[in-house]
Chain A
Amino acid sequence: MKYLHNIGAYFIMIKDIFRKPTKWSVMKTLILKDIDDLIIGSLGIVAFIGFFVGGVVAIQTSLNISNPLIPKYLVGFATRQSIILEFAPTFISIIMAGKVGSFITSSIGTMRVTEQIDALEVMGINAINYLVFPKFIALTLYPFVISIAMFLGILGGLAACVYGGYGTLEDYVTGIQNDFIPFHMAYAFIKTMVFAFILATIPSFYGYFMKGGALEVGKASTTSFVWTSVVIILLNFLLTSLLLG
């Protein structure tokens, strides 16, 4: 029953994000701040993880190719496919559920605990629009983050493959160019946009509707991470079945 109530409350919150908008001059500042916090602030960790996981994918693929009939360029091909189709959009989104999601839940939750949300409501401001809409807009730039993860993942694979002695540069480049299907990029970015929406709204929901004190802010952040991850995984399955199945 509680789950049904939460699902209903979540969709009502989604509707309220777009109701009674905050003055543009104020909203503009909030959006820029959230772009800085959520997008720019995540680039470092995304670049780091992207590069090294790309390297690991390339090494693992190379080590598991023992049949001499399998061409060496498969390392580049497999790295590209893994990075573009799953690692960048899905794996990075799970990491972002921890980083960005926890940040959103704890910052909104702290505002709830310290009555800052009540202060907004007393002033007649649509607090959901004021708090969630800028995050939603900031996360429309999320595909930019995922593009960087894709690029650096493939680059990391190249570095590991070539400098680790697992293959030649020519083989790797041939592999990443081989049998490229443009729709896979579309598929990856459709998933990315859906995950961006989830990353903006589920953590906001848990922050906005939390009750209690500082301890509950921590609990809400954990719950938000769990549910954001669960929804991302389920939607990943659904979208993959629909778009590629």
Chain B
Amino acid sequence: MTVTRVQAPAATGGLRRAISDGLIATGRNLKRIPRIPELAIFAILQSVMFVLLFAFVFGGAIPLPGGGSYREFLLLGIFAQTIAFAAATTAIGITDDINKGILDRFRSLPMARSAVLSGRTISDVVYNGGILVVLMLSGLAVGWRVHSSVLEFLAGVGLLLLFSFAMSWIGVWLGLSVPTVEVAQQVSFTTIFPLTFLSNIFVPPQTLPSWLQPLAEWNPISVLTSAIRDLWGNPNPYVGDGFPAEQPVLLTLIWVVVLIAVFAPLGVRRYRLMSR
């Protein structure tokens, strides 16, 4: 614009800038949570409602093959379902930032390019971690218990949070691909809901029609649910003897890696394409 080239700080802050800007973006997202309490409250209410509905309505009607408490069986499924909806939370957050114009502000600043997306996904993990705590407390209230060691309990929590991080990357891609918050909401609910029902969350997969069983067995949400049921010593009446039945923890980790490897580059690409 002008002839003189003005002195500007070096453009490459590298990893340090990526981390510090990522933390600033994370902090910004976290500060917003208590200021829009409706969002968190309804997310929690929805999950608690599921816990109560299934515990008290179906609790007696659905017998588990091989015995065991249906409530303990179900609750971990509800945990996994809630965590799967991380994709919706992230997608809605991103679309909202685009529509409010704040994403453009960020893009006009000399901040690390990665910070907006990393800040969003990391803060959503923290947010879902908070919701998980509330879910566990309400689970404890209706009779759920962990029957294994502290270490295995923590491993299960870690697995849930890792999975939430992976789902958030799907949300990044989705949020950058849809025009409005309403669409983001619709798309994520219509894709995640069937996935949570075609799983082992509510019923043991062997009760499904045989052609649906492989889908339900390999479904990442089923695998995650199996993994935490195993880790926490809660009922997991699984009759299959394939890989998903034998190595649910390993397969969950594989799913996490695959989802991130696919959706993070897609999301980043979408983000870059915003300037086209």
Our verdict on whether A and B bind, yes or no, reads no
